[in-house]
Amino acid sequence: MTQNASGGGSSPESTAGGGAGSALQGGDALLQVRGLRMHYPVRGGVLGGRIGSIRAVDGVSFSLRKGETLGLVGESGCGKSTLARALTRLETPTAGRVLFEGKDIASASGAELFRLRREIQMIFQDPYSSLNPRMTVGEIIREPLAVHRLGTKEEQLGKVRDLLETVGLGADMVGRYPHEFSGGQRQRIGVARALALDPKLVIADEPVSALDVSVQSQVLNLMVRLQRERGLTYVFITHDLSVVEHVSDTVAIMYLGRIVEQGPVDQIFRSPAHPYTRALLEAIPVPDPRQRKDEAPVKGETPSPVSPPPGCPFHPRCHHAIAECRSTVPELEVMETSGADPAHAHTAACIRRHEI
């Protein structure tokens, strides 16, 4: 909590957080991310010197309340997985803070980090590579408990059986190997593993993108049910806005390593402010063509995160771009449609957010 107090909106890393970030002062926020940056070196030469950097995540800030779900949406390559790895401290961020209950995960180390890892677990995208093919389902789910030495082996095995039941697989599956299961079942195993340590926060990186549409909703329903039963907090990453609509309380739209719009789910869907958000919404297939909105689809390719465009990173593809967009970097600003609740503020990073 002490760290939390010192990490107000005035700290240098949190400039991109804008007004919304500074308005949220701990209290009910489980997770606060401030100015998170993840730059990868581009190496060259015989000894691998640094010759440039990939700005995979470039100044991300948001807050998340306990028991709520943040939907993180963006095209492939915009830095969603990198952000997830930084939040779970699979990688150490280049800059910024990740405050979990006031403790900074980004700078934690040793025993403190080990304790924090219990609280934050991750569900992965690929149900085939996320389970070690040489371990039984029981071993896979039990390992987190063994690593953290929680209970005796019998207690751990009992917990593994409970978890298997909870995620809708029989307790008798403990001795099976991952290859005996379908993609949806494997993803349930992944969920069970993530829940083994009773975490408070679960980061789900495209948990259903690799699954059949019919199976997707089953896994989504499971996750929603578990959230209700266990009071879990989710960061739900996806490239599919339609999935986010069902599970999220708030939504953050990412583009080229930055959040370009953020707000309560109904506001993002009803009155999107950023041209990129509109384009994404436009891309959702709707059954009735008369309901289509009139925003033109985005043109061109996503620019490279090695040399992002100056000014607004979206300007080469934006239909509303003006000269100013090329020079001024827009920050997340609160929209006038935003409600009073700071955690649910509607913010957008567009110079022309009020005009269009």
Site for ligand SF4 in 321-350 (CB under 6 A): 321, 325, 330, 350
Could you give the C-alpha distances from 71 to 23, 46, 84, 249, in angstroms and in order? 20, 42, 12, 8
CA 62 to CA 76: how far, in whole Å?
20
Is the Cβ–Cβ distance between 350 and 34 less than 8 Å? no
Q: 184: closest CA among 174, 169, 202?
A: 169
Q: Which two tokens stand for residue 349?
A: 């990073």
String marking each residue 202-231 x if it binds another protein according to CB under 8 A? ------------------------------
String marking each residue 257-276 x if it binds ligand SF4 according to CB under 6 A? -----------------xx-
CA 340 to CA 338: how far, in whole Å?
7
Q: Which two tokens stand for residue 341?
A: 């609740």
Q: Which stretch binds ligand ADP (CB under 6 A): 72-80, 165-173, 211-219, 227-235?
A: 72-80
The verdict on 303 binding ligand ADP (CB under 6 A) reads no
CA 112 to CA 126: how far, in whole Å?
29
152 sits in the region (left: phi over 0; alpha: psi -120 to 50; else beta) called beta
Q: Which stretch binds ligand ADP (CB under 6 A): 79-87, 136-144, 191-199, 207-215?
A: 79-87
**Nearest residue (CB) to another protein, 28 versus 180:** 180
Residue with tokens 């180390």: 109
3-state secondary structure of 331: coil
Rg of the chain over Cα atoms, rounded to whole angstroms, equals 21
Among 32, 61, 63, 81, binds Mg ion (CB under 5 A): 81
Q: Which does 330 bind (CB under 5 to 8 A by kind): ligand SF4, Mg ion, another protein, none?
A: ligand SF4
CA 254 to CA 238: how far, in whole Å?
10
**Nearest residue (CB) to Mg ion, 13 versus 206:** 206
341 sits in the region (left: phi over 0; alpha: psi -120 to 50; else beta) called beta
Among 77, 183, 303, 316, binds ligand ADP (CB under 6 A): 77
Site for another protein in 179-198 (CB under 8 A): 179, 182-183, 190, 193, 196-197
The verdict on 305 binding ligand ADP (CB under 6 A) reads yes
* Closest distance to Mg ion from the beta carbon of 51 (Å): 25
The verdict on 135 binding another protein (CB under 8 A) reads yes
**Nearest residue (CB) to another protein, 114 versus 286:** 114
Question: How many alpha carbons fall within 13 Å on the CB side of residue 228?
Answer: 7
Q: Which does 80 bind (CB under 5 to 8 A by kind): ligand SF4, another protein, ligand ADP, none?
A: ligand ADP
CA 207 to CA 204: how far, in whole Å?
6
The verdict on 35 binding ligand ADP (CB under 6 A) reads no
Residue with tokens 């959040």: 259
Q: Which residues make Cβ contacts (< 8 Å) with residue 290, sequence separation at least 6?
A: none
The verdict on 238 binding another protein (CB under 8 A) reads no
* Closest distance to another protein from the beta carbon of 310 (Å): 31
* Closest distance to ligand ADP from the beta carbon of 159 (Å): 31
Give the rounded distance of the alpha carbon of 276 from its chain centre.
Answer: 18
Q: Which stretch binds ligand SF4 (CB under 6 A): 104-112, 192-200, 240-248, 313-321?
A: 313-321
Query: In 10 A of CB 337, how many CB atoms?
Result: 14
Interface with ligand SF4 (CB under 6 A): 274-275, 312, 314-315, 318, 320-321, 325, 330, 350-352
Interface with Mg ion (CB under 5 A): 81
Interface with another protein (CB under 8 A): 43, 46-48, 85, 88, 90, 113-114, 117-118, 120-122, 124-126, 128-135, 139, 143-144, 147-148, 177, 179, 182-183, 190, 193, 196-197
